[in-house]
Amino acid sequence: MPVDYDNASVLAKFAENYPDFKQEEINYVFDILENLRTDFLAMSPLEWQVTPEAKAEIAKNPPTTAGIHVRILVVGSECVRC
């Protein structure tokens, strides 16, 4: 159930207001414990947007991993890992 999200317009607006900002990206994947997979789906905003039929189908074979991709924007301070 991967979804491509593009926040280029948000980043451009931020850069316009804070041209000297620094950024750090953090990416990682983790395993979802089997007993938590249904809960993981229920809390996911991606699932909130689908039909009950799609939810039932996804629940038959829920994801076993989750990926995190975060971009941290830093202004006026030292960026430790930048």
Instruction: Provide the pLDDT for residue 47.
Output: 78
The token duo for 48 is 């909130």
Instruction: Provide the pLDDT for residue 3.
Output: 59
Looking at residue 55, what DSSP letter applies?
A: H
* pTM for this entry: 0.64
Taking only the tens place, the pLDDT of each residue in 2-50 is 556 788 999 999 999 999 999 999 999 999 999 999 899 888 877 788 8
Whether the predicted pLDDT of 53 surpasses 50? yes
Instruction: Provide the pLDDT for residue 76.
Output: 83
Q: How many residues does the chain have?
A: 82
Contact 7, 69 (CB under 8 A): no
Q: Give SS3 for 36.
A: helix
